[in-house]
Structure 1
Amino acid sequence: MADAVFDEETNVLLSQVDIEPVDANWFDIETDFVLSQFNLDNVLDMDVKSGNFPYSQTIGDLNVEANKTETGNCSSKRFNFEAKSSDVKKLQASSTPLNTQKNTRWDVNTWDDWGKWRNDRTISAGLKESAPYVLVPPLTVDIGAAELCHWMCRFILEVRRQDGSEYPAESLRQLCISIWRYLRDTCRRYDLNFFDRSKPDFADLRECLDARMKELNVSINKVKKQAKPINRTEEDILWSSVFSLNDAACLQYAVYLYACKLFGLRAADEHADLSVTQFTFGRDDVGQFIRYIGGRSKTVQGGIFHKKVLAKDIKQYANDSNPRCVVNLFQKYLSLVPEDGPFYRRPLATKTADGDQNTQHRRLVSIPYRSSCRECAKGQVLTASRLDTLVK
């Protein structure tokens, strides 16, 4: 019956096959069957000898060869870097902005200089063993809460600028914040957060800082330093005396201006890390546009605490009737630099075949705009924050 049913030239329906009913005794419903009780080796040996097994190796041999192949791929392709302690520390330090690291070092050095000055005076005047705290301690992991509170109160009253003048209230607060940041990030003393109101050990310190800040706000005539906005007239002066589409340096100055004005690039590190691939051109129902996708910046770190902070995604559309069209400006500049790599390049004096000046394939050491535009716009230095407030 089996030979007739599975004839290669005959189409057979499942209903035409004579299948005997299943015997209920095939499986013992009262006994639990464990897979380990089944002798798989005998079945495999029988299948290999009979030629029914499609491979010449047993399952064990195949597993060994697969493990060798996987191990070889892991060692050569997947895992090829062994991190050291220095690599881990470097990675941890990179999570903090460079300016924050610089300010922290400066303020901790201020503590050290003040402590050295006070300790020298104490030693020269003679140590008083009866005093609870005699010498100012360094900021280390061993410092205690009571000792820190004691000396921080005196630091707030005595610290001065290098010229001997008093710090403004906000600068004094930033000094204290840097000290706490150093204790937290470097010394790993999370219990010394003296800004936490739930910690009564530092109540005297908070009261002292609060009173000192109020006192400084009254005694010091605080003038806030801020960049002045550039008006339309000053922008016209820049286009008449600095910006040009026929000179590499002048073209780059114009690109820097509108990168600040239209795409919101403010900090120097945003310009230093700017890449050509962050700008793309396209066209939609509105018209031709240039699109900028922002990268990592001070406010967009991309870490576990900034998951909901999105990077900049800005479009600017072309205006053919405007001789200062930003799309044409950036197309001109990007046609003269490589398609990948740093955005800012050092201008060259040599010209291309079409008469345009080329740019050198090297990253600029510093932002090019400040020095060349110093004498323009009524002699005022043009910073990125000021360019951001341009009058359109």
Structure 2
Amino acid sequence: MEDEGLPWSSPKKVSDRFAKNGEDMLEVLVNDIDRYEQLSNREELLALASALAGRDVILEAVALEHVDAVLLVNLEQCGAAIQNPEDLLQNNSNEVNDGSFLQDRYKAVTISDTEQFILDNRNANTRNKTKSDLKMFYEWALSNGEMRMVEDIPFPKLDGLLARFYLGVRRRDGEEYEPDTLSGVQNSIDRHLKDLKINVEIKKHEAFSHSRRVLEAKRKDLKSQGKGTKKKRAEPLDSNEIQKLYEKQVLGAANPTALLNTVWLNNGVHYGFRGRQEHTNLRLGDLKLLKDGSGTEYVEFYGDVRDVTPKMFAQPNSDYCPVKLFKLYVSKRPEDLRSDPESRFYLRPLPNPDKDGVWYCRQPLGKNKLGIMVKTMAVTAELYGRKVNHSTRKTFATTLLQSERPVTEVAQLGGWKSISTLTHYNIPSIKQQSKASKILSEITIPESSNELDAVNLMNKPLTQL
């Protein structure tokens, strides 16, 4: 079938006659793959056109996704028989004649586009971890005379370097790393090589058996020293600790810093924000002030894709209502930033603000400052335990789970993809542990009796021991 009048031209074959090296041959191969894909798409569309025109054609050759309901409706409206498949493609609409019909529906995507799409949508923490671990390895390698990139080092040489790295690398203060940190570097290098399409898995491939044995032995040695035996997990904030933060004026509305801390904490707890990144990315337009059917105000978070957009409802009977404090914070921003949806949400407090005027400057709070918000508050209020930014997300999950909210509800509100992940958050609170201890004590503490009292008198009361 000729191409004349069709909204495309036949793809041209690139000859390999003038290829001078492997790079030229690769370019020819890629061109051939694109050419065959274009020819395949062309044949499917012509087969579809022939089928709709009543031609004798094998319908199995027509991909179902190419059957467009709008296209069929347009055919019925034509009122005339289609004599040639080319007529279908030419006369369906004016858009087809200039090729925009196919261009709008079938976007040209290369293999490199698909690979970049995967990288762009990888978790930001994973990308940062890979980058950080590679930097650590390169710094160590450079200090040992190796300047090549990981992907350029032959496998036997890389295996030896990794074995020496696991055994010899230290923190900047000279201390040993945790066992999981070394395993994390191994995972990051493996992930980096996979991203570059290098067909090797350093965690399984025989070429890296020596470095794996060294890492395994190193992990055992570190654990014998007490490393890696205690999980450094964030601890949630309980009501007593939050009460103390208000009493110390770390939270509240007494000053710009306290108000900033409060809206930050409320966002973290009510929306289940993750550590630092979601706070850093937050814009004013991501939080919308709305009302429900009864007129109660609430602030809804639209900053990411979740099954349910989480909401923070007003508590009208409290002076520390989260919606009231949110509105106060917005009113204390520079006037032109009170309604700019693209402006960063967290702004730096002014050193000497006017009590009745603007409290914050135009400069956004930096990511490093946002990254230690809970730690700074905990130090100021003298809170105990490991209190870090992730404590707010843990407070979100543990509070709801301990209140017997359905686990599916908690997962949807917090944006968890897997319900099983929430098992790490479903831990008993101090009050629940106290209640459990009281129940157990009812078994281990005997009831008072004359015989038991006589024994206690002979052996002195416990208060005198």
TM over 0.5: yes
- Secondary structure in 2 matching 1:313: coil
Change (3 A) 1:230 1:208: same
Matches within 5 A, 1:4-83: none
Answering whether residue 238 of structure 2 is matched by residue 237 of structure 1, we say no
Distance in 1 separating the partners of 2:161 and 2:128: 23
- Secondary structure in 1 matching 2:381: coil
Distance in 1 separating the partners of 2:135 and 2:348: 37
Question: Normalising to structure 2: TM-score of the pair?
Answer: 0.50
- CA displacement, residues 195-227 of structure 1 (integer Å, 9 cap, x when unaligned): 24xx44444544443333233222334444344
CA contact (8 A) 2:301 2:309 kept: yes
Distance in 1 separating the partners of 2:268 and 2:348: 19
Report the counterpart of residue 311 of structure 2 in structure 1.
Answer: 315
Change (3 A) 1:312 1:267: farther
Counterpart amino acid of residue 256 in structure 1: W
Distance in 2 separating the partners of 1:207 and 1:184: 22
Q: CA deviation at 1:386?
A: 2.8
Counterpart amino acid of residue 143 in structure 1: P
Report the counterpart of residue 377 of structure 2 in structure 1.
Answer: 373
Distance in 1 separating the partners of 2:378 and 2:231: 22
Q: How many pairs are equivalent?
A: 300
Report the counterpart of residue 210 of structure 1 in structure 2.
Answer: 216
From 388, 393, 398, the equivalent of 1:383 is 388
Q: CA deviation at 1:320?
A: 1.9
CA contact (8 A) 1:153 1:205 kept: yes
Counterpart amino acid of residue 138 in structure 2: D
CA contact (8 A) 1:374 1:382 kept: yes
Change (3 A) 1:179 1:312: farther
Change (3 A) 1:360 1:192: same
Answering whether residue 226 of structure 2 is matched by residue 220 of structure 1, we say yes
Answering whether residue 313 of structure 2 is matched by residue 325 of structure 1, we say no
- Secondary structure in 2 matching 1:171: helix
Matches within 5 A, 1:99-138: 99-119=125-145, 138=149
Answering whether residue 279 of structure 2 is matched by residue 271 of structure 1, we say yes
- Secondary structure in 2 matching 1:239: helix
Counterpart amino acid of residue 278 in structure 2: E
Q: CA deviation at 1:272?
A: 1.1
- Secondary structure in 2 matching 1:376: helix
Report the counterpart of residue 415 of structure 2 in structure 1.
Answer: none
Q: Report the structure, 1 or 2, having the larger helix content.
A: 2
Distance in 1 separating the partners of 2:361 and 2:139: 45
Q: CA deviation at 1:363?
A: 2.7
From 170, 177, 184, the equivalent of 2:187 is 177
CA contact (8 A) 1:107 1:175 kept: yes
Q: Which has the higher contact order (CA 8 A, sep 6+)?
A: 1
From 130, 139, 143, the equivalent of 2:150 is 139
- CA displacement, residues 217-264 of structure 1 (integer Å, 9 cap, x when unaligned): 223344443444434333223223233336444322210111112211
Gaps of 5+ in 2: 1-52, 54-89, 105-112, 333-337, 400-465
Q: CA RMSD in A?
A: 4.9
Matches within 5 A, 1:326-365: 326-336=322-332, 337-341=338-342, 342-348=344-350, 355=356, 357=358, 359-365=360-366
Report the counterpart of residue 166 of structure 1 in structure 2.
Answer: 176
Report the counterpart of residue 39 of structure 1 in structure 2.
Answer: none
Counterpart amino acid of residue 365 in structure 2: L
Distance in 1 separating the partners of 2:222 and 2:234: 24
Q: CA deviation at 1:274?
A: 0.8
Report the counterpart of residue 43 of structure 1 in structure 2.
Answer: none
Gaps of 5+ in 1: 1-33, 35-62, 79-86, 120-134, 297-309
Q: CA deviation at 1:95?
A: 4.0
**Percent identical:** 22
Report the counterpart of residue 73 of structure 2 in structure 1.
Answer: none
Which sits farther off after the overlay, 372-381 or 329-338? 372-381
Question: Normalising to structure 1: TM-score of the pair?
Answer: 0.58
- Secondary structure in 1 matching 2:319: coil
Change (3 A) 1:188 1:347: same
Counterpart amino acid of residue 225 in structure 1: K
- Secondary structure in 1 matching 2:151: coil
- Secondary structure in 2 matching 1:270: helix
Report the counterpart of residue 290 of structure 1 in structure 2.
Answer: 299
- CA displacement, residues 325-351 of structure 1 (integer Å, 9 cap, x when unaligned): 223222333455225122223345666
